[in-house]
A and B are shown apart, each in its own frame.
Chain A
Amino acid sequence: MTARAAVRSRVRRLAVRGSRAWYRLRGPRPPGPPEPPRVPDGWTVGPPHYVGVGAQKAGTSWWNRLIGAHPGVVGGGSGPKELHFFDRAWETPLADDDVGRYHRYFPVPPGKVAGEWTPGYLIDFWTPELIARAAPEARILILLRDPVERFRSGLTHQLATSRAPLGPRDIQGAFQRGLYAPQLRRVLAAFPAQQVWVGQYEACRADPLGQVARTYAFLGLPPHELDPWTASGEVNPTTRDKYQPPAALRAALLDGYAPDLAQLPELCPSLDLSLWPTARALGLG
């Protein structure tokens, strides 16, 4: 890392730490999307070109920024990444004018595209079908990560942003988010498989430039060369020690994820389970 990159990285970490301290004081933000942006003259609104739907703690902020770094994509990654548009749709079903309201979040000038990435969409069992209603042509992006690593990262994040100690519901909730098979089944019930890109955080970490080129191609964007520093920069770096599950819980997680991991190759043949230590430990990789 060059000296300049090191300074930038340090500044980024401090900014993240500051925003997390602010989050702890302020509490979680209210559910639901912010006001739609103003539409500049000559721009048009319409359904998003892409919608990222998951998974939490799998590098989605980073990947969404790399998509935004493409000159054909609006926002340069600076717009709101997570709209949470469908968060309340279970209690308050989506109305027809909600579809138009969703489109207002994606103003584009001629020749450019826009999208969003809300990692919670994958968990919400009602959401994939609603996305298909509001944006039937959207390309769907999913980043997955070794489920035990995702579990650890999720609880690390929670400990960094909350004052409360971990309890059983936190543990079970974090475990449940890593059960990918039912979540993928819901997305694949709503969208044809060729409209869904399932990437792996580990592959992106190992080869960001190669994977981002694939992502651009999937989105129908012309090739674009990123500078390597932009490609490798962490967006949500860990600012504290990573949560380590006790040994007995780690063993229970391993057994607990086994039936789910066993379903993934059939659901999503492009996944390379050998990238995941948990799958390798179970003899599935």
Chain B
Amino acid sequence: MSARPSDPRDQAPAIPPGWTAAPPDYVGVGTARSGTSWWDALIQAHPRVSRLPGTPKEVHFFDDRWAGSPDIDDTAYHRYFARPKGQLSGEWTPGYMLDVWTPPLLREVAPDARLLVLLRDPVERFRSGRTLAENRFTVGSTARAAANAAFNRGLYADQLLRLWAAFPREQVLVLQYERCVDQTAKQLQRTYEFIGLDPEIPSSVDLSRRVNESRGPKVSLSPWQEGQLIQRYAPENERLATLVPDLELERWKLPR
């Protein structure tokens, strides 16, 4: 397993005249296959939010920085969030919440960022995952390793607790994908307000537009596999519900 070929610091896009680098106002940190591209696009659609041309939705800045902080340079990360005066900027890398080394590093370079977590029924998240492709960096790349890695991504409670160890809880907004689908306007207003925008949704934002929706084949689950996932996730979801009281667990698949 080798590190990613090039250092992300070399990839920070050029900053146009009149734009200035600054820490991100928001960072989405979780979780993969849960509608984060859609939600990020709705944030980006707000006229007060800018993204530097060349900065991707997922910066993956910390992926290879597990060895520690000596090379963490604030300005290297901040360059991705250059924006015109008065605008907000941010990114959403769904693996940040999972990787054990990332929350403390993120706190070092963006201590005031508002963090966003979008959670989805872990059974549906598993089904939606391109499990082998998504986990192609997993040791061995076997079907067994991929299934385990995909399953572990759905253990949300501990990931959230690790995040909360690095950031105050009030700096983290936990959204539920199923409610975002059902009550898009209401949940988007919450999101706007949380990251420091006027909660009113501008008329230019198209709430019906979907991004990155069910592209590529889903993982087909046999009834036995689906039953296994429901059973195995049940106690973990119950722990999550005690941590996030407004989570509507009944929207997720539960054991009969």
Q: Which residues of B contact A169 (CB under 8 A)?
A: 1, 135, 137-139
Q: Which residues of B contact A253 (CB under 8 A)?
A: 100
Q: Do A125 and B232 touch (CB < 8 A)?
A: yes
A-B contact count (CB 8 A): 115
- If A125-B148, A173-B139, A252-B100 touch, whether A259 touches B1 (CB-CB below 8 Å) is no
Q: Which residues of B contact A259 (CB under 8 A)?
A: 157-158, 161-162, 165
Q: Do B158 and A164 touch (CB < 8 A)?
A: no
Q: Do B66 and A171 touch (CB < 8 A)?
A: yes
> Which of B63, B149, B161, B228 is close to A126, meaning CB atoms less than 8 Å apart?
B228
Q: Which residues of B contact A166 (CB under 8 A)?
A: 1
A168, CB-defined interface residue at 8 Å? yes
Q: Do A249 and B144 touch (CB < 8 A)?
A: no
Give A165 Cβ to nearest chain B Cβ, in Å: 6
A149, CB-defined interface residue at 8 Å? no
Q: Do A167 and B228 touch (CB < 8 A)?
A: no
Interface SS of chain B: helix
CA distance A255 to B100 in the complex (A): 9
- Minimal Cβ-Cβ distance residue in B for A90: B147
Give B2 Cβ to nearest chain A Cβ, in Å: 6
Q: Which residues of B contact A247 (CB under 8 A)?
A: 68
A97, CB-defined interface residue at 8 Å? no
Q: Do A168 and B66 touch (CB < 8 A)?
A: yes
CA distance A2 to B143 in the complex (A): 47
Q: Which residues of B contact A246 (CB under 8 A)?
A: 67-68
- Minimal Cβ-Cβ distance residue in A for B62: A168
A256, CB-defined interface residue at 8 Å? yes
Interface size class of chain A, counting residues whose CB lies under 8 Å from the partner chain:
35 or more
Q: Which residues of B contact A248 (CB under 8 A)?
A: 67-70, 101, 104-105
Interchain residue pairs with CB less than 8 A apart (15): A90-B147, A90-B225, A124-B144, A125-B151, A168-B64, A168-B99, A169-B135, A172-B99, A182-B155, A189-B231, A246-B68, A249-B101, A252-B101, A255-B104, A256-B162
Q: Which residues of A contact B123 (CB under 8 A)?
A: none
> Which of B139, B144, B157 is close to A90, meaning CB atoms less than 8 Å apart?
B144
Give A114 Cβ to nearest chain B Cβ, in Å: 25
Residues of A with Cβ closer than 8 Å to B? 28, 31, 87-88, 90-91, 93, 123-126, 129, 158, 164-173, 175-176, 179, 181-182, 185-186, 189, 246-249, 251-253, 255-256, 258-260
Interface size on B, residues (CB 8 A): 46
Interface SS of chain A: helix
CA distance A171 to B95 in the complex (A): 14
CB neighbors of A among B166-214 (8 A): 166
CA distance A123 to B147 in the complex (A): 11
CA distance A164 to B64 in the complex (A): 15
CA distance A10 to B235 in the complex (A): 47
- Minimal Cβ-Cβ distance residue in A for B232: A125
B75, CB-defined interface residue at 8 Å? no
Q: Do B2 and A165 touch (CB < 8 A)?
A: yes
Give B232 Cβ to nearest chain A Cβ, in Å: 5
> Which of B69, B155, B162, B235 is close to A255, meaning CB atoms less than 8 Å apart?
B162
B133, CB-defined interface residue at 8 Å? no
A87, A123, A176, A248: which has the most chain B beta carbons within 10 Å?
A: A248
- If A165-B2, A171-B66, A249-B101 touch, whether A260 touches B158 (CB-CB below 8 Å) is yes
